[in-house]
Structure 1
Amino acid sequence: MNLSARYTELSRLADLGEEVEAAWSSVSDRAGSYRVLPDGRCDIILRFDAGRRPIAEVTVVVTGPTTRFYDVPIEPGMGFVGIRLRPGCFETVLGFEPADLANANLVGPDAFAACPDLETLCAPARDENELVARLTAFVRRRVADSSSKPAPMARVVISAFHASGGRLRIGDVANMHAISERTVQRIVFGATGLAPKTFAAILRFHRALRLLQDHRLSPADAALEAGFSDQAHMSRVFRRMGGFSPARLPDVTLVSLHD
């Protein structure tokens, strides 16, 4: 794996609405590959040639929820801007359920077939800022016109999993909110396209990565703090979800995840 893209979250965009977790951009500086880690989210991405002004060709990519890593081949000057949707808001914005796109992406015509309105994002643009503004306006328009709204309990249930770093069991979340385990399963699956156990495992994976990368904990201490049964358990999850060992972390991007 060769990290050759600069990922930046665009914090200057404060008014993204509740449906959007983050807007971001990335430009590759050399040929290589970019490793995408599972995060329990779906993104709408615009791919373009960052070396051309104005931007003449734009490709739409919609990413579904994934359960393991995958590598994206990139070339020098390849640019991306994206909107990361909050769990529970995918269907509101795009009109179909995230489970329909589990472990898959839609690119170009396939994305238009699933959501024809996405084609409006592909007009030429002056620069990257115009593409970001276009994406943001697209989400706002789709939300305003949508008859599908997030389940009332979705934000609360997803927040509980986040607050615990994925360590709460389904039964614990159900008891906290006086609902059945079956209801928790239905809510999480509808919001993320993933089973609650899988979603929680992804959150534990990200928490452990943060503990190792940002807080410099040892693998044994990170495994304990993140809620794994032991270091060997954490290592197996890291190999499956990230393709690497917690003892030898590659240069990977950790996105910001919010409840």
Structure 2
Amino acid sequence: MTLSARYTELSRLADLGEEVEAVWTSVSDRAGSYRVLPDGRCDIILRFDAKQRPIVEMAVVVTGPTTRFYDVPIEPGMGFVGIRLRPGCFETVLGFEPAELTNANLIGPDALAACPDLKSLCLPARDQNELVERLTGFLRRRAADSRLKPAPLSRGVISAIHASGGRLRISDVADMHAISERTVQRVVFKATGLAPKTFAAILRFHRALRLLRDHRLSPASAALEAGFSDQAHMSRVFRRMGGFSPARLPDVTLVSLGD
């Protein structure tokens, strides 16, 4: 696996609203593949040829929540502009629940069929900046017009799981919000398309990755701090979700995850 794309989050667009976690761009600098790690999120992406001026051909991609890695083949000059949606906001923006896309993506005509308003994103554009403006404008309009707003309970439950790095038990989350475990299951599944234990496992995976890469902890220490039962448990999760070992981390993108 080769990381051959420059991923950049646009911090100036971080405050678009509660629906948006990040606006990002990526342009490949050579042929290869780009490994996408599960993060419990869904993205709306415009894929285009960054060498074109103006940009006249592009495809819309809507990514669903995933439980394991997948590799995207890329070519030199292949560009992407994307918006990462916060958990609970997918339905607000696109009109259907993320569970309909678990471990799947909608690409091109399939994305347009699922949400016809996405067609407005595919008009010719001067450059990448115009695509960013178009995508953020689309999100603002859809969020403002939507009647499917995330419930306060959903945001509270998701935030609690995030704050613990995925280490809280479902029973603890239920007790914190004076609700049943079944309600936690329902709320998290509706917001993310994933079972709570799966969503929490993804957060532990990302926390362990950052402890290893950014804080230089040993695998044994990272496993303990991230909430795994032991290093062997962490290694199994890394192989399943990332396709690599904690002892030999490849050059993969770690996206910013809010609460």
Q: The TM-score by the shorter chain falls in which range?
A: over 0.9
- Aligned partner of 2:254 in structure 1 is 254
5 Å matches for 1:19-98? 19-98=19-98
Q: Any idea what SS the aligned residue of 1:62 has?
A: strand
Residues 8 and 141 (structure 1 numbering): CA distance in 2 closer, same or farther, change over 3 Å?
Answer: same
- Provide the rounded CA distance (Å) in 2 between the counterparts of 1:94 and 1:233: 36
Deviation at 1:72, TM superposition (A): 0.1
- Provide the rounded CA distance (Å) in 1 between the counterparts of 2:213 and 2:233: 18
Alignment RMSD (CA, Å): 0.6
Q: Any idea what SS the aligned residue of 2:234 has?
A: helix
- Normalised to the residue count of structure 2, the TM-score between the two structures is 0.99
Q: 1:19 is matched by which residue type in structure 2?
A: E
5 Å matches for 1:113-192? 113-192=113-192
Q: Any idea what SS the aligned residue of 1:157 has?
A: helix
- Provide the rounded CA distance (Å) in 1 between the counterparts of 2:215 and 2:16: 29
Q: 1:104 is matched by which residue type in structure 2?
A: A
Q: 1:24 is matched by which residue type in structure 2?
A: W
Deviation at 1:14, TM superposition (A): 3.8
Write the deviation string for residues 20-53 of structure 1: whole angstroms up to 9, x where unpaired: 0000000000000000000000000000001111
Write the deviation string for residues 163-194 of structure 1: whole angstroms up to 9, x where unpaired: 00000010000001111111111110000000
Q: Would you say 1:218 and 2:218 are equivalent positions?
A: yes
Deviation at 1:58, TM superposition (A): 1.3
- Aligned partner of 1:196 in structure 2 is 196
- Provide the rounded CA distance (Å) in 1 between the counterparts of 2:157 and 2:87: 11
- Provide the rounded CA distance (Å) in 2 between the counterparts of 1:72 and 1:135: 22
Conserved in 2, the CA contact under 8 Å of 1:151 and 1:187? no
Stretches of structure 2 that go unaligned for 5 or more consecutive residues are none
Q: 1:72 is matched by which residue type in structure 2?
A: V
Deviation at 1:152, TM superposition (A): 2.0
Q: What fraction of aligned residue pairs are identical, expressed as a percent? A: 87
- Provide the rounded CA distance (Å) in 1 between the counterparts of 2:25 and 2:179: 39
The structure 1 segments of at least 4 consecutive aligned residues displaced by more than 3 Å after TM superposition are none
Conserved in 2, the CA contact under 8 Å of 1:166 and 1:200? yes
Q: Any idea what SS the aligned residue of 2:245 has?
A: coil
Q: 2:43 is matched by which residue type in structure 1?
A: D
Q: 1:185 is matched by which residue type in structure 2?
A: Q
Deviation at 1:15, TM superposition (A): 3.2
Conserved in 2, the CA contact under 8 Å of 1:63 and 1:105? yes
Q: Any idea what SS the aligned residue of 1:244 has?
A: coil
- Provide the rounded CA distance (Å) in 2 between the counterparts of 1:55 and 1:221: 48
Q: Any idea what SS the aligned residue of 2:152 has?
A: coil
Write the deviation string for residues 174-230 of structure 1: whole angstroms up to 9, x where unpaired: 001111111111110000000000000000000000000000000000000000000
- Provide the rounded CA distance (Å) in 2 between the counterparts of 1:145 and 1:176: 32
Q: 2:216 is matched by which residue type in structure 1?
A: R
Deviates further, 236-245 or 124-133: 124-133
- Aligned partner of 1:4 in structure 2 is 4
Stretches of structure 1 that go unaligned for 5 or more consecutive residues are none
Q: Any idea what SS the aligned residue of 1:153 has?
A: helix
Conserved in 2, the CA contact under 8 Å of 1:92 and 1:147? yes
Q: 1:167 is matched by which residue type in structure 2?
A: R
Q: Any idea what SS the aligned residue of 1:60 has?
A: strand
